[in-house]
Structure 1
Amino acid sequence: MAYFEKEELRQAKQMTAIEFLKRYRPDELVRCGTGEYELRSHDSFKISESTSLWHWKSRDIGGKSALDYLIHVEGVPFLDAVRYLLEQEPPGYAPQAKTTEQKPFVLPAGARETHRIELYLQSRGISLAVIRYCISKGILYESLPHHNCVFVGLNNEGVPRYAALRSTTEYPRPFKQDQPGSDKRFCFCIPPITRSRCAAVYEAAPDAMAHMTLEGGRAEKYRLSLGGIYAPLNDLSTDRPFKMPPALETFLKNHPDVTELEICTDNDAAGRWAALQIAKHYSGEYRVKVNLPPKDGYDWADMAKEEKQERAARHRVACFYQREGSER
């Protein structure tokens, strides 16, 4: 079996993805903004010219090196990719033609139990009450055979049309993926107990559940996941065109009684930029409130996890002093 020494692997990882593409795939690069490119065959793939950071939105994967690109985008086996980069003889590339045919959407098989996703989501700071509320609404379950969290999006008739999958383990790396055939117009949405005029919007399903937990588990408003947002890597100017998330547009069309929007995107550069764009777009028709996590770089899932850790620390301190008092 072929293998490479550590120094050879280090050398193979030195070439950046943008350097590789400019040298060996120049016809594939299409400029789509200041300092940013997309691929001619995959327009949801964006790469920064200055940092080489790339993100393939439709697959929710990213990287920086040419090695990452070859493995995850062109599908070259690891050993072959390393060999090509060391020998400077990159593999031939035949881009796949774009297809407009939608893959059939089928939900992953479900497990009878839900204890793995309950334990995982609780470890992320989400309350058991919120988890079970979502399970009871048919928008969250545990899959087989991998025991992933499945966050389900329903259409207006209550039929599943979207599913976001997330692994219940972080090692060796967290798994995140939309189920093939998912329709981004119908993303995960936590319904209120009774009809509400307010909808809060989040980048991801765990953020919606985490914020609901932090607000005491109250199901008094819609909590909609946008299924992620796209923000250009190098140009977050306020006049940069921004495509409104299809999940939000479809939701508002199907819920004419909603008059208030609460924007709860991540508190990072992309999240703040997207919040500004969404607020500008809808402020004439809706009462809009921007409610980002109070800590820079955090999302609402980060805030819930930190709150859980702080609560556990306070409990340990209280138990310590209680023991000390009883022993005196």
Structure 2
Amino acid sequence: MTVRKLRFTDEQIEAANSVNILDYARNSGYSLKQVSRNSFKIPKYGGLYIDSNGHKWYWFTRDKGGGAIQFVMEMEGKTWVEAVKRLLGLSNNIEVFTPKHKATKEEKGEMILPEKNNTYKHVIAYLIETRRIDKSLVYDLINQKKIYENKYKSCVFIGYDKEGIPRYASFRSTNTKGKAYRGDVKNSDKSFPFCVEGNSDTVNVFESPIDLMSYLSFLRIYDITDFNNHCISLGCISDTALERYLEDNPNIKKIILCLDNDEAGSFGSEKIKEKYEDKYTISRHVPKGKDFNEDLVELVRNIEISQQNNKDIEERNEVQELII
């Protein structure tokens, strides 16, 4: 017997993913609470927010989000095909269901850092030459054991607890061609961020370690020496790391959100603002491009072009003086 695989047209997939998540949630038996002009929350689900336009959602405690298809998959435990089928049938027959709670997570084991390479050259070349991070900053973080190179030539970024024990680590391939390979080390605890500690009452919050380092590189380019804010990387847009960092540093009064200049960054910034604005002064520093590394690469490129142009002018002047 031949089994025919179910295939959806692009139009069907688009139709499924364009279903209003708020309407779906209401018709599926969820209670919704509007928490701001731009978002709703499903109570008792650990920070599960839905944008007021009904097009996207984000679950902070699970660091998951997306559109309507992903919502059905996550909340009902359905496969992608099942979720699309369910959403395509909404216009005719909305089935009320009881959300399935996932089984309690197994206790995490010990995080074991990836094996170190016998060199740092690939990480150094990638961060300095490709990402244009300040050289002295890269070496400082290597010396502080916050960055190293694993045996696969990838960058490893480490987050420590107050006792100096590594609790979180993420990795990012150093290849500049093809798809980047990235992720978190098994049993990492995202509540312990990759960070550069400060001594002011302000914390700058970034999505990734590279964006954090890019921001600090800007300060060095512009010779800003009085910056002493705390800087942390969330490793996503969930506030898990921020929550712990604020608990560990009760002197902090201000939060500057430096998340990406895209929908996810804006959504994450809005949710963090809603959660913390009663206790902290919150502002947002938005990069010109998608993120601060994109801005840094552009700035360094322009500086190099300007320096080369000035050099060419000087050489022409020297030649003219010799001719005269």
Q: TM-score, normalised by structure 2?
A: 0.66
Deviation at 1:182, TM superposition (A): 0.8
Q: Does 1:245 align with 2:243?
A: yes
**Residues 292-322 of structure 1: per-residue CA shift (max 9 Å, x gap):** 6486687644542332232244356457767
Per-residue CA deviations over 1:128-173 (Å, capped at 9, x if unaligned) read 332232122111234566x654322212321112334556579768
SS of residue paired to 1:163 = strand
Partners in 2 of 1:148 and 1:59 — Cα distance? 26
> Which residue is equivalent to 2:135?
128
Contact 2:194 / 2:232 at 8 angstroms: preserved in 1? yes
Classify 1:139/1:32 alpha carbon distance in 2 versus 1 (closer, same or farther; 3 Å): farther
Letter in 1 for 2:35: G
**1:19, distance to aligned residue in structure 2 (A):** 2.9
Partner of 1:159: 165
User: Match for 1:43 among 43, 46, 67?
Assistant: 46
Shift of 1:48: 1.9
Q: Judging changes above 3 Å, is the alpha-carbon distance between structure 1 residues 18 and 32 closer, same or farther for their aligned structure 2 residues?
A: closer
Higher RCO (CA 8 Å, separation ≥ 6 residues):
1
Q: How far apart, in 1, do the equivalents of 2:17 and 2:213 lie?
A: 38
Q: How does 1:189-208 map to 2 (within 5 A)?
A: 189-190=195-196, 197-198=199-200, 201-204=203-206, 205-208=209-212
Question: What is the SS of the residue equivalent to 1:156?
Answer: coil
Separation (CA, whole Å) in 2 of partners of 1:294 and 1:50:
23
Alignment of 1:275-294 (within 5 A): 281=279, 293=285
- Checking the alignment, whether the CA contact within 8 Å between 1:198 and 1:260 is kept in structure 2 is yes
Change (3 A) 1:92 1:182: same
Contact (CA 8 Å) 1:102, 1:181: kept in 2 or not?
no
Q: For residue 210 of structure 1, give the secondary structure of its aligned residue in structure 2.
A: helix
1:280–1:215 Cα change, 3 Å: farther
Q: Is contact 1:71–1:77 with CA below 8 Å preserved after alignment?
A: yes
- Give, in angstroms, the shift of residue 106 of structure 1: 0.5
1:67 and 2:69 matched: yes
Q: Could you say which residue in structure 2 is the equivalent of 1:236? A: none
The reply on whether 1:225 has 2:232 as its aligned counterpart is yes
Q: 2: CA distance between counterparts of 1:276 and 1:57?
A: 13
Pick aligned residue for 1:6 from 3, 7, 10: 10
When structure 1 is superposed on structure 2, of 113-122 and 315-324 the one drifting more is 315-324
The alpha-carbon deviation at position 247 of structure 1 amounts to 0.6
In structure 2, relative to structure 1, the CA distance for the partners of 1:301 and 1:316 (3 Å cut) is: same
Q: One-letter code of the match for 1:182?
A: D
Query: Are 2:300 and 1:308 aligned?
Result: yes
Q: CA deviation at 1:80?
A: 3.4
Tell me the SS of whatever aligns to 1:245: helix
Query: 1:36-63: CA deviations, max 9, x gaps?
Result: 3334563132112334321222344432
Go from structure 1 to structure 2 and tell me whether the alpha carbon gap of 1:98 and 1:114 turns closer, same or farther (over 3 Å shift).
Answer: same
2:61 is matched with which residue: 58, 61, 86? 58
C-alpha distance in 1, partners of 2:297/2:17?
34
User: Which sections of structure 1, spanning at least 5 residues, go unmatched?
Assistant: 232-242, 254-258, 284-289
Alignment of structure 1 residues 174-213 onto 2, 5 Å? 180-182=187-189, 184=191, 186-190=192-196, 197-198=199-200, 201-204=203-206, 205-213=209-217
Partner in structure 2 of residue 140 of structure 1: 147
More off after superposition, 172-181 vs 309-318? 172-181
Tell me the TM-score normalised to structure 1 length: 0.65
Displacement, 1:75? 5.3
> Identity of paired residues, percent?
18
- The aligned counterpart of 2:22 is 18
Aligned residues: 295
